[in-house]
């Protein structure tokens, strides 16, 4: 079909005008977007938490099969959706800096204490008048600190005996006043860090996901002092001149906090998973995800260790408790490692550090045992067992090297 030339020109003119209108509208839209972007850039707040944040090696993976993609809780059952990573790293840095600050303060105190004792020793080597100088306190401040804080019992009377529910059952001893303040501050800080969430969010699944992320990262960071304080050859003992009993007290409370945070982490994940697809979704995730399965194994193992580590059970079967305790803790740490590694989560270096501490301590322990008991010139240590009356025996060790 052929149209007149005038009609062709008319259609061409309309097409040209339509194209110009489209280009003009696109240009106006671009200008609006640029203006809006500039306004957003001007009005946008600065980084709320200007701290370095470790970035995962890639996208979070290993969450298994999902059943219900249309449920509102679907996006919050895996990955980092709803998790406030910036705030998580902020609290982790606060914990690390607080721990390092406490170590530095303890080291400075011990250094001043040792220096003062050395100067006192040097000054008392002369005349008797110099010795009498140290018989009296020259101020009331430091003796008051020692009497009311550092060496004071929790109450008015020193509790140097265990608290006994009966003649056969005891539940441990009360900590000193200073240890109570230290542990109280530690517990309160962890509770605050755990509960500082965005409670105003309308979607409660997002708040639960944020709780899951917060409790998980706090449990991971608290795993470090839990293991470090339990080591017999803890390097902090000779450096800070703090007894192993004190570190053992701190170890028990750090472990309790870590286990409770692990349980909260697991429950928060399970709540969103059940909201998404019920118990079938929980079972499917645990059976199809290596990360979730080993995370659940670690939580169950840590919970069992916590229940069996109370004083009556620990004292009734101490040797059995100690060996089972070590084996289960290793299983739990391996479970946490696989859980983080398969999910590609950035907390994996924490677990690697814990493993490095423990392996290094065992290597050092074996080296010391071999060094003090084996000699190329004197041979190995000899043990003599001598029977004594009343069904007793004397065990004598002939060490090849002196044991300090």
Where are the domains positioned within the chain? 74-157+171-382
44-60 average pLDDT score: 47
Query: Confidence class of residue 377 from pLDDT cuts 50, 70 and 90?
Result: confident
Which tops the pLDDT comparison, 221 or 154?
Answer: 221
Query: Confidence class of residue 133 from pLDDT cuts 50, 70 and 90?
Result: confident
Which of 12-26, 58-72, 348-362 is least confident?
12-26
344-355 average pLDDT score: 93
Strand positions, DSSP E, 34-73: none
51-71 average pLDDT score: 57
Percent of the chain residues past pLDDT 70, beyond the cut? 76
Most confident of 45-54, 295-304, 306-315, 369-378: 295-304
Task: Give, as one character, the DSSP assignment of residue 161.
Answer: S
| Per-residue pLDDT at 267 | 95
Secondary-structure percent of the chain, ordered helix, strand, coil, rounded to 5 = 65, 5, 30
Percent of the chain residues past pLDDT 90, beyond the cut? 39
Determine the Cα–Cα distance for residues 207 and 195; give it in Å rounded to an integer: 10
Is the model's pLDDT at 191 over the cut of 90?
Answer: yes
Query: Confidence class of residue 3 from pLDDT cuts 50, 70 and 90?
Result: very low
Query: Confidence class of residue 72 from pLDDT cuts 50, 70 and 90?
Result: low
Is the model's pLDDT at 56 over the cut of 70?
Answer: no
| Per-residue pLDDT at 11 | 42
Determine the Cα–Cα distance for residues 161 and 48; give it in Å rounded to an integer: 50
* Residues with Cβ within 8 Å of residue 213, at least 6 apart in sequence: 80, 82, 83, 84, 85, 88
73-94 average pLDDT score: 83
| Per-residue pLDDT at 169 | 66
Which of 187-196, 224-233, 315-324 is least confident?
315-324
| Per-residue pLDDT at 65 | 63
**Neighbour-count burial for 341-370, b at 16+ CB within 10 Å, e otherwise:** bbbebbbbebbeebeebbeebeeeeeeeee
Determine the Cα–Cα distance for residues 197 and 214; give it in Å rounded to an integer: 9
Is the model's pLDDT at 20 over the cut of 90?
Answer: no
Q: What tokens appear for 190 in the block? A: 């962890």
Torsion of CA 214, 220, 225, 230, to 10 degrees: 130
Considering only CA atoms, which of 82, 285, 91 is closest in space to residue 203? 82
Q: Write down the pTM of the prediction.
A: 0.78
Is the model's pLDDT at 262 over the cut of 80?
Answer: yes
Alpha helices by DSSP H, listed for 309-400, are: 311-316, 318-343, 348-373
- How confident is the model over 297-344, as pLDDT tens digits? 999 999 999 999 888 888 788 888 899 999 999 999 999 999 999 988
Handedness of CA 50, 51, 52, 58 (dihedral sign): negative
Which tops the pLDDT comparison, 162 or 363?
Answer: 363
Which of 30-44, 65-79, 143-157 is least confident?
30-44
Give the chain's mean pLDDT: 81
Asked whether the beta carbons of 135 and 274 are under 8 A apart, the reply is no
Separation of CA 401 from chain center: 39
| Per-residue pLDDT at 40 | 37
């Amino acid at each position: 079909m052929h149209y007149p030339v005038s009609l062709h020109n008319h259609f061409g003119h309309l097409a040209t005008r339509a194209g110009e209108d489209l280009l003009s509208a696109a240009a106006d839209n671009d200008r609006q977007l640029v203006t809006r972007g500039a306004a957003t850039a001007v009005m946008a707040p600065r980084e709320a938490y200007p701290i370095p944040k470790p970035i995962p090696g890639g996208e979070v993976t290993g969450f298994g099969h999902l059943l219900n993609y249309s449920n509102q809780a679907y996006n919050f059952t895996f990955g980092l959706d709803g998790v406030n990573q910036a705030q998580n790293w902020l609290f982790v840095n606060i914990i690390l800096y607080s721990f390092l600050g406490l170590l530095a303060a303890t080291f400075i105190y011990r250094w001043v204490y040792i220096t003062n004792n050395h100067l006192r020793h040097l000054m008392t080597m002369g005349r008797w008048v110099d010795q009498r100088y140290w018989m009296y306190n020259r101020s009331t401040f430091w003796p008051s600190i020692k009497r009311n804080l550092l060496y004071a019992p929790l109450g008015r009377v020193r509790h140097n005996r265990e608290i006994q529910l009966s003649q056969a059952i005891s539940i441990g001893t009360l900590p000193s006043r200073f240890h109570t303040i230290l542990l109280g501050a530690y517990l309160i800080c962890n509770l605050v860090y755990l509960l500082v969430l965005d409670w105003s969010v309308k979607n409660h699944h997002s708040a639960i996901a944020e709780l899951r992320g917060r409790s998980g990262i706090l449990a991971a960071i608290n795993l470090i002092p839990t293991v470090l304080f339990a080591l017999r050859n803890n390097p902090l003992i000779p450096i800070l001149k703090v007894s192993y009993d004190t570190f053992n007290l701190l170890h028990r409370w750090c472990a309790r906090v870590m286990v409770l945070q692990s349980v909260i982490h697991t429950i928060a994940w399970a709540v969103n998973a059940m909201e998404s697809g019920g118990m079938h979704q929980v079972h499917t995730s645990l059976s199809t995800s290596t990360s979730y399965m080993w995370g659940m194994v670690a939580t169950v193992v840590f919970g069992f260790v916590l229940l069996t580590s109370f004083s009556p059970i620990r004292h009734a079967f101490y040797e059995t408790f100690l060996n089972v305790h070590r084996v289960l803790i290793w299983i739990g740490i391996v479970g946490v490692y696989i859980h983080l590694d398969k999910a590609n989560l950035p907390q994996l270096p924490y677990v690697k550090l814990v493993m490095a501490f423990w392996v290094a301590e065992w290597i050092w322990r074996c080296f010391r045992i071999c060094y003090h008991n084996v000699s190329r010139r004197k041979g190995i240590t000899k043990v003599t067992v001598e029977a004594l009356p009343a069904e007793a025996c004397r065990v004598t060790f002939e060490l090849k090297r002196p044991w300090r």
